[in-house]
Amino acid sequence: MTELPIPGPYVPWVDDIPSRPAADGPLQGVRLAVKDLFDVAGLPTGAGNPTWLATHPPATRDAAAVAVLTGAGARIVGKTHTDEMAYSLFGTNAHYGAPDNPAAPGHITGGSSNGTAAAVAEGSADLGLGTDTGGSVRIPAGWCGLYGLRPSHIRVSRAGVVPLCGSFDVPGLLTRDLALLRTATGVLLTGGPDTTPIRGLVAPADLWELAEPAVRQALQPALERLAATLPCDEKPLWGSAPAPDYRFAYAVRTGWEFWQRHGDWVREHEPVFGPGVGERVRLASARTHEELVAADREIAAVRTTMARLLDGAVLVIPTAPAPAPGRGVDTGPLRAPILGLTGISSVVGLPALSVPGAAVDGLPVGLCLVGAPGTDESLLELAEVLR
């Protein structure tokens, strides 16, 4: 395949953002970069695939999350690149290329919210609106040295967003600054917070072992700073019992829901997908109901465990198992350990906050705080310890 030029963070088919009356609110003057999965009235939504772009008219209204943020004063500065249909974790698009990582030049940004992260990291936007299904806010946050919040699934509307898997998709936020993230979270989230006091931390050895030794070592001081404020339990998450296969469950349910939602479009228009996405779409088309039942059984087991574990506690784990790979490096071996870390939040719908934690050979790595549903604000408060 011919090597593509390195694009900037923003999609080239949106070069003029329609003017709209400035709104007063807590985000007054904040520059907002919007992932090109979200509808913005008057603009096309490309979803990372040229066939999708060509077969869908411009949006007639804003996605709910866009409307909420702009209604609070944020100003859209552009729509940003994404992986095809958000069906990847690495921010490498076979049609448009991959933005460079401003915090680690020569490396990828990661996540399907890749352009949004690049825009925030380079400073052309203050606030990024992305989506997180399997880690696509958290991974680029960790690799770009940003704060990235995957909110509780139940607290953010997904209306007006091109779906990958509605059971796991959730709009999320990226910032360089924790204070701005707290303000934007207060605007975006609906429903009251869970005010259960945080009484402890859990940092399971088996999850930490998914990360490379250099990452574990780099993040140890941040974990110790948290553990100085709350008791920390490091025993393995799954103990001696077999761990639920939540990576299998994630793949099956994501594929099933993708095909239920987009299968007719794929059959009708026969879009060309990049190699990794194309293989996942092929597998999605063949998922069976029996597989779905088995996947949901695994998901139920994870939910039971996490409900018990996170009763008054916060899970603390590396955001990603390694720093951002260099451009052109084979990312295949990273997929399984990434989902081992990110998949728990995804399949249960838990809030997860990636905090800039450290660096390995000059490359940012993040620490992720995961709480019970509704504890988003508590995670943001806990992150203040690491500022």
Task: Note the pLDDT tens digit of each residue in 71-107.
Answer: 999 999 999 999 999 999 999 999 999 999 999 999 9
First CA to last CA distance, the chain: 43
**Is 79 assigned a catalytic role?**
no
Reported confidence tier of residue 16, pLDDT bands at 50, 70, 90: confident
CB 37 within 8 A of CB 161: yes
CA dihedral 127, 132, 138, 139 (to 10 degrees): -110
What confidence score (pLDDT) does residue 215 get? 98
- List C-alpha distances in Å: 276 to 1, 122, 159, 260, 330: 13, 28, 27, 20, 11
Q: Which residues contact 57 (CB under 8 A, 6 or more apart)?
A: 44
**Is 35 assigned a catalytic role?**
yes
Q: What is the pLDDT of residues 17-34, one digit of tens each?
A: 888 888 899 999 999 999
Reply yes or no on whether the pLDDT at 269 is more than 80.
Answer: yes
Q: What is the pLDDT of residues 325-378, one digit of tens each?
A: 999 999 999 999 999 999 999 999 999 999 998 999 999 999 999 999 999 999
Instruction: Give mean pLDDT, residues 235-263.
Output: 94
Percentage above 70 pLDDT, the chain:
99
Instruction: Give mean pLDDT, residues 97-123.
Output: 97
Cα–Cα–Cα angle for 358, 360, 365, rounded to 5 degrees = 45
E strand residue ranges, the chain: 31-35, 75-80, 127-132, 147-150, 170-175, 200-202, 232-233, 313-318, 352-360, 363-370
Mean pLDDT score of the chain, rounded to an integer? 96
* Better pLDDT: 36 or 15: 36
Among the listed residues 107, 106, 120, the one whose alpha carbon sits nearest the alpha carbon of residue 149: 120
Residue 172: strand, helix, or coil: strand
What confidence score (pLDDT) does residue 298 get? 97
Q: Which residues contact 373 (CB under 8 A, 6 or more apart)?
A: 152, 153, 154, 194, 348, 349, 350, 351
Among the options 79, 88, 113, 136, which is catalytic? 136
- List C-alpha distances in Å: 209 to 217, 324, 338: 11, 18, 12
CB 237 within 8 A of CB 143: no
**Is 167 assigned a catalytic role?**
no
Among the listed residues 36, 77, 80, the one whose alpha carbon sits nearest the alpha carbon of residue 58: 36
DSSP per-residue letters across 33-69: EEETTB--TTS---TT-HHHHHHSPPPSS--HHHHHH
Among the options 35, 79, 152, 354, which is catalytic? 35
| Alpha carbons 248 and 346: distance in angstroms, whole number | 13
What confidence score (pLDDT) does residue 2 get? 57
What confidence score (pLDDT) does residue 1 get? 45
Instruction: Give mean pLDDT, residues 128-151.
Output: 98
Among the listed residues 142, 158, 157, 156, the one whose alpha carbon sits nearest the alpha carbon of residue 185: 156
* Better pLDDT: 15 or 186: 186
Reply yes or no on whether the pLDDT at 240 is more than 90.
Answer: no
Reported confidence tier of residue 242, pLDDT bands at 50, 70, 90: confident
What confidence score (pLDDT) does residue 379 get? 98
Among the options 88, 112, 346, 354, which is catalytic? 112
